[in-house]
């Protein structure tokens, strides 16, 4: 399997180059992004002639903090959670461990990071323990009780717990954001673009102790976000009615995808509100079959029996997937 499609999702230009175009536009299911975006972005007109105002940035962070259940003083906006994760490597000088399987970037944050299974007790040395919850790519969910226990173990060893909650907006009760405090060694990362369907805005958040926030702001400088990211994020986090409806809609779309996949003998082996993971002996063949019909999914070179499907937007996209799989 070519690394072009197994490293991250969203490689439509490469897919077109390899598989060509057909009678229908490409259907990109390779990323776990809400297929129905928050609709207010088109109505926002940023002030492109002025530098972003610090007060507007603080207002965005306050709106996001309310959504996360966190203290605004512990929330720092970053230009995408991917970059926020990578900046952790500049903030800490500790050995690192990341749970396996995991998001690719987790292995790259720290130069000496090693994959480890879920801990059964305190690690023997002070480390940065990095994990995703829900996990990417298999959707595994760890309870807050489990993560609080791991946090205590990390603190006892002089280390830190880093929880990447890029997919947590659909399941608020699992979030560790409310447990972040100035006297705890806990950092939580959140993504804006996945749940709100606006990945191109490049907006994320680091939630951590004030001492970490101060150092991070020094790295980011005075204008870390564009005026558009600030305005869109602030308005979207304030749209409680849309957020509640989106959570319900995602569950319905995921259920419809589950039913379709089961009809083709492809029961989900892992899931979260924004994607489904199947396990199949010929995952590569299914990926190729779909790509030849302009449906892009996400394969994995380190788990060749896995294939991940993002959520289709509605019946028309479901029918395309069904038709493409029937051609196999």
Average pLDDT score, the chain: 94
The tens digit of pLDDT for each residue in 66-82 reads 999 999 999 999 999 99
Q: What is the pLDDT of residue 3?
A: 62
Listed in sequence order, the residues at least 6 apart from 129 whose beta carbon sits closer than 8 Å to its beta carbon are: 96, 97, 98, 99, 116, 119, 123, 150, 154, 159, 160, 161, 162
The tens digit of pLDDT for each residue in 121-147 reads 998 899 999 999 999 989 999 999 999
Distances in whole angstroms, Cα of residue 184 to Cα of each of 96, 209, 323 = 18, 7, 51
Per-residue confidence band for 5, with pLDDT thresholds at 50, 70 and 90: confident
Is the distance from CB of 285 to CB of 310 less than 8 angstroms?
A: no
- DSSP category for residue 189: E
- What's the CATH architecture for 3-37+241-326? Alpha-Beta Complex (3.90)
Domain at 51-238, CATH class: alpha beta
Distances in whole angstroms, Cα of residue 46 to Cα of each of 62, 93, 199, 229, 233 = 19, 38, 18, 9, 12
Q: What is the pLDDT of residue 1?
A: 45
Structure tokens at 172: 């608020």
CB atoms within 10 A of CB 304: 15
Does 274 score more than 50 pLDDT? Answer: yes
Distances in whole angstroms, Cα of residue 90 to Cα of each of 111, 180, 277 = 11, 20, 33
Q: What is the pLDDT of residue 302?
A: 84
Q: Give the phi and the psi of residue 278 in degrees, each rounded to 5.
A: -110, 155
Provide the whole-model pTM: 0.94
The tens digit of pLDDT for each residue in 172-186 reads 999 999 999 999 999
Does 102 score more than 90 pLDDT? Answer: no
The tens digit of pLDDT for each residue in 211-267 reads 999 999 999 999 999 999 999 999 999 999 999 999 999 999 999 999 999 999 998
Q: What is the pLDDT of residue 281?
A: 95
Q: Mapping DSSP to helix (H, G, I), strand (E, B) and coil, where does residue 151 land?
A: helix
The 128-132 sheet, strands edge to edge: 75-78, 204-207, 186-191, 160-164, 128-132, 96-99, 114-116
Per-residue confidence band for 56, with pLDDT thresholds at 50, 70 and 90: very high
Task: List the chain domain ranges.
Answer: 3-37+241-326, 51-238
The tens digit of pLDDT for each residue in 59-68 reads 999 999 999 9
Dihedral sign, CA of 57, 59, 64, 65?
positive
Closest CA relative to residue 30, chosen from 294, 250, 258: 294
């Amino acid at each position: 399997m070519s690394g072009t499609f197994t490293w991250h999702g969203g490689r439509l230009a490469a897919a077109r180059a390899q598989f060509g175009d057909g009678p229908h536009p490409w259907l990109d299911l390779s990323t776990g992004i809400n297929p129905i975006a928050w609709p207010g972005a088109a109505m926002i007109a940023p002030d492109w002639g002025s530098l972003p105002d610090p007060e507007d940035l603080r207002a965005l962070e306050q709106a996001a903090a309310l959504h996360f259940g966190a203290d605004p003083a512990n929330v720092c906006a970053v230009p995408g959670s991917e970059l926020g994760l990578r900046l952790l490597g500049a903030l800490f000088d500790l050995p690192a461990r990341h749970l396996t399987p995991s998001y690719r970037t987790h292995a790259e944050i720290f130069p000496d990071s090693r994959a480890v299974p879920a801990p059964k007790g305190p690690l023997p040395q002070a480390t940065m323990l990095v994990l995703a919850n829900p996990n990417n790519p298999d959707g595994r969910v760890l309870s807050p009780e489990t993560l609080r226990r791991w946090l205590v173990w990390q603190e006892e060893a002089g280390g830190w717990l880093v929880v990447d909650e890029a997919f947590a907006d659909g399941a608020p009760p699992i979030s560790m954001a409310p447990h972040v405090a100035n006297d705890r060694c806990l950092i939580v990362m959140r993504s804006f673009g996945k749940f709100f369907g606006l990945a191109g805005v490049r907006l994320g958040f680091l939630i951590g102790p004030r001492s970490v926030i101060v150092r991070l702001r020094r790295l980011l400088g005075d204008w870390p976000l564009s005026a558009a990211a600030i305005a869109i994020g602030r308005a979207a986090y304030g749209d409680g009615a849309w957020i509640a409806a989106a959570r319900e809609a995602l569950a319905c779309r995921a259920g419809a995808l589950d039913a379709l996949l089961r009809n083709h003998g492809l029961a989900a082996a892992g899931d979260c509100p924004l994607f489904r993971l199947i396990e199949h002996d010929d995952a590569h063949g299914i990926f190729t079959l779909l790509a030849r019909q302009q449906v892009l999914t996400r394969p994995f070179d380190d788990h060749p029996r896995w294939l991940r499907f993002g959520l289709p937007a509605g019946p028309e996209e479901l029918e395309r997937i069904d038709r493409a799989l029937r051609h196999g």
